[in-house]
Amino acid sequence: MERITLVRALVTLVVIFTSGCGAHIASVPTLKMDQALLIFHNQLPHEVEVLYTSDYCYKCVYQSLVHVKAGYNNASTVINTKFTLSVQVESNKNAILCRWNQAYEEGGHYKVWILRSDNASNATCLHAVGRGPHNSYLPILVAALTLAITALLFVVAPYICRKCRTSKFVKTTCCRSPQYSLDHDQVHATQAEGSATKVKYKRLRSLDVFRGFALTVMVFVNYGGGGYWFFQHAPWNGLTVADLVMPWFVFIIGTSVVLAFRSMQRRGVGRVQLLQKITWRTAVLLTLGFCFLNYSPRDGPRRLSWSWLRIPGVLQRLGFTYFVLALLQILWGHKENQQKEGHWWSPLQDVVLYWPQWLTIILLETLWLCITFLLPVPNCPRGYLGAGGIGDNGLYPNCTGGAAGYIDMWLFGDNMYRYPTCKEMYHTTQPFDPEGILGTINSIVMGFLGMQAGKIIVFYKEKNIHILCRFLVWATILGISAAILSKCTRDEGFIPVNKNLWSLSYVTCMGCLSFLLLAGLYFITDVMSWWGGQPFIYPGMNSIFVYVGHTLLGFYFPFSWEMRFRESHWEWLFQSLWGTALWVIVAYLLYRRKFFLKI
């Protein structure tokens, strides 16, 4: 019986392939990036419905994909290829005939034959590839290889030049150390140049490089990242490259506050002057966020309305976070950074001496936890952290973000971000702002971790081993905390890693990565001087100019243009890299002219 069924299925496939497919395939739509064509052939005597859900979508309700009429009828649909799909075929009586999981690839044409089975309540779904997909990752592999070769040339070329310059001295000089020159005048010139260099690079180079690297990634991500999903924000829980940038900036703000305020306090700047400075800087950042980044000239005057204005924003959060961190530093930050032995808490002096700051941060985090898990939200379960919409089996469609979304809606109404990252996948209808009020509390906590990094650098000045060990200890503690809170899963943890909510596990995870990255850069650039930080140091020293500039002008020629080839990632990736490179070049030219936009 099984042999007869198999032969019948094979004969049916041959008949369908040779007769019924040609007319339908001739009218297939043009596929764009991250799309594939799925063609269904129904051999059953009744109509079927094909439903789907993304495996990235947590406990999502199946959505209708296409209906296929009875009796050798065909139907095609375009599907998204970013994530693995779960597909099931149902009869008109809602009985599941067959189900499968598959990661479809970009540009491919896939065929599914729905055939009769010996079991009346079931069916057989056979799959075949009509047209092979193309390699969607080839553009980024080529780009990565090109950038690697370019970076290598920039490293090797100066080294060869230095060797060529010193070869004459090697021939005419014996047993001379590389630090000595041939004549007395050149010795003085070298010493003068060295002293000038020391004055010029008195700043912590690794911090500028860290800031510039984060800003460069941000510009690339804002240009679309070539259209790749991992260069865009995660739909809800989880991490992508785009989710790393914002907390890096907040971490850097905290470190910069400690280093800058210590320098100003040593110059005799009083508390009142410091308070005036941070108030002015916060006001400027808030103004930039409200006036410039909510409006682009291409929007036209009709977009200038209160109903459209987004109140929370990136610069608004950075400004407020900076103000709180700076206030903590003004009130309780100017401790004498001299190590004192003989106390039980001596190994923890860089923490214990600033106990009022730590107490404030612990109270803020307790407030976040209490509001998040104890605040009653209408028609939502207490402590809900999901995306709502069709997630969680569709039980809480209007609960996007739980308490965080509820507070923002109560304060701002519709004046929030109306296209959250969860909207497309989870089919949400509520606006949700990733820079909302509740998440700002954890933004302050993230910045305070950066302040701790600054205190370590100041406290253990010129003791590089101590600094690096402290960074690694903090990275380990935060990494273990993130693993426990998230249970090393994307959706099943006590507190999932979530950039939209700025969850506690997200802060600890990003704190771990920030300490590791700063430790690596500090070792390479400041301790060993193996790398000068180029080209990231240039945008890192002019971050406000590059950020505001690319936000206002980044979507005009020559930084970007209207793309014509939308079938693959080639043009979009080239445009993203081109626009990012131009802003790095602009930052380099400003660096050469010693122009730095400060607030």
Count of residues for the chain? Answer: 599
pLDDT value of residue 175: 39
Q: Domain for residue 173, yes or no? A: no
Residue 191 tokens, joined? 């010493």
| CB contact at 8 A, 423 and 232 | no
Instruction: Provide the angle, in degrees to the nearest 10, between the axes of the packed helices 437-459 and 355-374.
Output: 160
The reply to whether 498 and 375 lie within a common domain is: yes
CA–CA distances in Å: residue 325 to residues 248, 376, 493: 15, 30, 30
Residue 509 tokens, joined? 């995870």
- Residues known to be catalytic: 233
The reply to whether 471 and 576 lie within a common domain is: yes
pLDDT value of residue 124: 85
- Domain residues for 354? 155-162+207-338+350-423+440-592
Burial of 154 (0-12, 13-18, 19+ CB in 10 A): exposed
Chain segment 210-223, per-residue pLDDT in tens? 999 999 999 999 99
Q: Domain for residue 214, yes or no? A: yes
Q: Domain for residue 186, yes or no? A: no
Return the beta strands (E) in 295-387 as ranges: none
d(CA 499, CA 126): 40
Q: Domain for residue 318, yes or no? A: yes
The reply to whether 125 and 216 lie within a common domain is: no
Q: Domain for residue 52, yes or no? A: yes
Q: Domain for residue 175, yes or no? A: no
The reply to whether 370 and 484 lie within a common domain is: yes
Q: Domain for residue 555, yes or no? A: yes
For the sheet with 35-42, list strands across it: 73-80, 35-42, 109-116, 123-131
DSSP helix, strand, coil percent of the chain (3-state; round to 5):
55, 10, 35
The reply to whether 78 and 211 lie within a common domain is: no
What does the H/E/C string look like for 373-436?
HHCCCCCCCCCCCCCCCCCHHHCCCCCCCCHHHHHHHHHHCCCCCCCCCCHHHHCCCCCCCCCC
Q: Which of 494, 590, 488 is nearest to 535 (CA)?
A: 590
Torsion angle of C-alpha atoms 136, 138, 139, 142, degrees rounded to 10: 170
Of the ranges 151-160, 369-378, 380-389, 547-556, which one carries the lowest mean pLDDT score? 151-160
For the sheet with 63-68, list strands across it: 63-68, 48-54, 85-91, 96-102
In DSSP terms, 116 is beta-bridged to 123
Torsion sign across C-alpha atoms 368, 373, 374, 380: positive
| CB contact at 8 A, 181 and 190 | yes
CATH of the domain at 88: 2.60.40.2890
The reply to whether 285 and 376 lie within a common domain is: yes
Q: Domain for residue 198, yes or no? A: no
Count of structural domains, the chain: 2
pLDDT at position 587 over 90: yes
The reply to whether 304 and 384 lie within a common domain is: yes
The reply to whether 586 and 471 lie within a common domain is: yes
pTM of the model: 0.86
The reply to whether 86 and 227 lie within a common domain is: no
The reply to whether 118 and 226 lie within a common domain is: no
Q: How many helices (H) and strands (E) does the chain have?
A: 18, 8
pLDDT value of residue 212: 94
Whether the bond into 535 is cis, omega within 30 of 0: yes
Helix (H, G, I), strand (E, B) or coil at 322: helix
d(CA 396, CA 491): 16
Q: How far is CA 350 from the centre of its chain?
A: 31
One-letter amino acid identity for 220? Answer: F
The reply to whether 235 and 117 lie within a common domain is: no
d(CA 320, CA 281): 10
The reply to whether 108 and 217 lie within a common domain is: no
Whether the bond into 178 is cis, omega within 30 of 0: no
d(CA 457, CA 519): 11
Computed over every residue of the chain, the mean pLDDT equals: 83
Chain segment 165-217, per-residue pLDDT in tens? 665 544 443 333 333 332 333 333 334 444 444 444 457 899 999 999 999 99
Chain segment 106-154, per-residue pLDDT in tens? 989 999 998 877 665 677 888 888 888 888 899 999 999 998 888 888 7
Chain segment 332-365, per-residue pLDDT in tens? 876 655 555 556 566 777 788 888 999 999 999 9
